[in-house]
Structure 1
Amino acid sequence: MDKRLVVMLGATFTMMLAGPVFGWHIANDCEGETLGGRPADIEGVFWGAETTLSNEQVSTGAQSCKFEIAAGSEGWPSEGGPLEWGAIFSFLEDVNVGQEVWLRFDLFIPAGFDIWTNTGMLKFIRLGTRIDTRSTGAMDILMGVPSASLWSADLERDVKPPFVASFEGAPKLKMVGSRPRNDVKTGVWETYEVYAKIGVSGEADGGQSIVRVWKNNTLIANLANQITAVDETGRMTGLYLFTYWNGTARSDQHAYMDNLFITNEKPANIDENGNAFIGGETYVKESQNSQISVITAPKMTQLAK
């Protein structure tokens, strides 16, 4: 099988194109560029203006990517202006209806991080979507503001979830995880992974669409009724990590990201529920009382063919 490996300048960034089917992956470990500098933008990758390479907190290697946002900023000004908060990773090929994508990264949230917005949800993992004629927003995984009560149509009651899923093309909030078990932990590296199969109706309703979310290798959401496209031309185009802060940040904030991996090829690892996932090393085990336990799992070494 013909394979081509392209190594880009800057933070270690690889793309694999595998024939005869166009398979790809994107990997970024925040290594290979000058400590303290902003990572270089390359084709398909754009870093927020306030992003720097840091050794203050590191998951693996010598550096991580530090995202920052200033008090009073939206992160990506609605009146116009450059992206400040987070990063954008365009997929090497759009993920169309019936196709799949997996993504995973490590995240360090420092103590005192203010999870607050004027919507009750902080934009976090955002999969950009569109149809032939227009953008359809993002398939979002958002952090729930701890003090905010959100209406769950599925549960028919207000809840205070640690995370929320919502497709901006057809908004309907779906609760992800439970408190305190799946709360965002501070002062420790955590791993987040998302899988999406694109479709106009959910797998539970006889369609194709499904979204899964893992936190520290534990499946915290299996959304078999989550739609991800508004018509058959729907597709996902890239990952928007953070990027916009509704209502502006109340104070200066920062977070660290490391070991990003995105692929459209089915991973070889299988979770305890029988689902294919990237998996790999993690440092925190989800526990009922929210105590921190350090664990490890084998790193992913191959992709299923």
Structure 2
Amino acid sequence: MTFEQGAIGSKATGNAQNFDGAAGGSFITDEKVLNGEKAAKLTVTGGSTAFGEWGGIINFPEALGKGEEVWFSVNTFFPEGFDYDSSGEGWHLKFLRVHTSTTSGENRGYNDWYLNPEGSTIPHKYICECQQRWFDFGTRSEEIQRGQWESYEMYIKFDDVPQDEGGTALVRVWKNGKLLREITGAKTLYGPDDISSRAHLFTYWNGGAPKTQFMYVDDIIITNETPNFRDAFGNPYTTGDTGVSRPEPPELTVE
């Protein structure tokens, strides 16, 4: 998703390079751009939990199931003064999210990367709502840095049995090309027949946004094709050395 299609100021929805839904406050912009000529400006209204406004949903062309995998990466620019804290509902902000369900569409919860309040000793956490077990990662230096482009990426291997228990469920998380944690104790599906058919960037502000504000995103990649890039440990990922200044990635699609 490069956001290159569409007129400046129009909603960042409606074509393959944009969000598929829940993106009423996301607009095509040229104010801050990582690559190309356009990016997306994401706005949120103060006091609102903002579903349908904040961020957006990306639908997969086909559902993924047990034994399959997905990479989800985004480049972000948070302006000076942006307040990403949340109040209530767990005191953390939903960030990268991969939804799971039964084949009939019954909600099974999300694989969720959360942002802890600014100044937390550990800035990030992950949970599969199918399991309700938290995994913390990152150091103070790896919290959001304002006024610059940064990259974030989450990899998920889908299974209802964690790798630590003999299954294959696995999660990896990176910031700016650095592997922050490999999570081997988490389920990523509730049951063996469950599926995943969409991803969310933000979409809900726990406790309500502290003020009306905006940030920018560019070059979102979601794929189940193994990327060509490798991190320092040999793990495949989409964001190259940093995810911010990188070679042009290969064409990656979900089959």
Q: TM-score, normalised by structure 1?
A: 0.76
- The alpha carbon displacement at 1:298 in A equals 3.1
- The alpha carbon displacement at 1:253 in A equals 2.1
Q: Which residue pairs with 1:71 in the alignment? A: 46
1:46 maps to which of 13, 16, 21: 21
Q: Which residue pairs with 1:108 in the alignment? A: 77
DSSP-derived class of the 2:60 partner: strand
Q: Which residue pairs with 1:171 in the alignment? A: 132
- The alpha carbon displacement at 1:276 in A equals 1.1
Q: Which residue pairs with 1:29 in the alignment? A: 2
- The alpha carbon displacement at 1:196 in A equals 0.4
* Number of matched pairs: 247
Identity of aligned residues (%): 30
The one-character-per-residue Cα deviations of 1:175-228 (angstroms, maximum 9, x if unpaired) are 021112x11111000111111000112112211100101111111110011111
Contact 1:41/1:47, CA 8 A, preserved across alignment:
no
Mark the structure with the bigger radius of gyration: 1
Which amino acid in the other structure matches residue 40 of structure 1? T
CA distance in 2: counterparts of 1:282 and 1:59, whole angstroms: 13
CA distance in 1: counterparts of 2:168 and 2:119, whole angstroms: 35
RMSD: 1.8
Equivalent residues in 2 for 1:1-305, closer than 5 Å: 28-42=1-15, 45-76=20-51, 83-117=52-86, 118=88, 119-132=90-103, 134-146=106-118, 160-180=121-141, 182-280=142-240, 282=242, 296-301=245-250
Q: For the structure 1 residues 141 and 179, does the alpha-carbon distance in structure 2 shift closer, same or farther, using more than 3 Å as the test?
A: same
- The alpha carbon displacement at 1:264 in A equals 0.8
Consecutive unaligned residues of structure 2, counting only runs of 5 or more, are none
Contact 1:121/1:144, CA 8 A, preserved across alignment:
yes
Q: For the structure 1 residues 116 and 62, does the alpha-carbon distance in structure 2 shift closer, same or farther, using more than 3 Å as the test?
A: same
Q: TM-score, normalised by structure 2?
A: 0.91
Contact 1:40/1:47, CA 8 A, preserved across alignment:
no
Contact 2:231/2:240, CA 8 A, preserved across alignment:
no
The one-character-per-residue Cα deviations of 1:83-114 (angstroms, maximum 9, x if unpaired) are 01011001111110111111222111111111
Runs of 4+ with >6 A deviation: none
- The alpha carbon displacement at 1:280 in A equals 2.9
CA distance in 2: counterparts of 1:211 and 1:236, whole angstroms: 15
Contact 1:143/1:164, CA 8 A, preserved across alignment:
yes
CA distance in 2: counterparts of 1:230 and 1:188, whole angstroms: 37
The one-character-per-residue Cα deviations of 1:95-149 (angstroms, maximum 9, x if unpaired) are 101111112221111111112212221000010111245211110001111356x
Q: Give the number of the structure with larger relative contact order, counting CA–CA contacts within 8 Å between residues 6 or more apart.
A: 2
